[in-house]
Amino acid sequence: MFRQWFTEATKTEQAPVEPNAMSLATVDSDGRPHCRILLLKALDDRGFTFFTNYDSAKGEQLNASPYAAMTFFWPTLERQVRIEGRVEKVTQEESDAYFQVRPLGSRLGAWASPQSQVIRDRAELERLLAETEQRFLDTAPHCPPHWGGYRLLPERMEFWQGRPSRLHDRLDYRLIANSWQRERLAP
């Protein structure tokens, strides 16, 4: 069902600018939630793949507690999908392959930015980028060891369809003993 909704979100006349934008929620070691917007980069039968800096706050949170939730919202279609599940790192080969198709500036930025770390000012970031550009002046940047993908393996998915009078449709799917069980939830 997600593939169908995602395809419709990308092909509608009023398609969102980035239909693959999603919120990703994680928890820190104190159990405090953190949420940010990321882009879905791959979808297959195993799950939903996104890429990031493994040393970032989200990377550290996923390393400590490998569960997350993501939400896609397509307001022009009055649709939302919530997904929960375990998260695992993708293979190094998958990370390398995706890294190589990124724009050069994004590849350099992955090397230059100490993501989620405090920096003095914008000039420091620009200095780090200039140093990185010099480092890779004669060679293409390869995937850094601190950067790669995660795949969320869905265990629960809720599909929400807006309806008049706030009597929305909510279909909840749970993976139980390797089989998806569907229930309808009251709005």
Q: What does pTM read for this prediction?
A: 0.91
40 assigned to a ligand binding site:
yes
What pLDDT is stored for residue 17 in this prediction?
A: 80
51 assigned to a ligand binding site:
yes
65 assigned to a ligand binding site:
no
Catalytic: which of 135, 166, 182, 184?
166
37 assigned to a ligand binding site:
yes
Query: DSSP secondary structure string, 80-148?
Result: EEEEEEEEEEPPHHHHHHHHHHS-HHHHHHHHH--TTS--S-HHHHHHHHHHHHHHTSSSPPPPPTTEE
> Is 174 a residue of the active site?
no
To the nearest whole percent, how much of the chain has pLDDT over 70?
Answer: 99
**Class of the CATH domain delimited by 2-102+144-185:** mainly beta
The residue ranges of every structural domain in the chain are: 2-102+144-185
Tell whether the model's pLDDT for residue 13 goes beyond 80: no
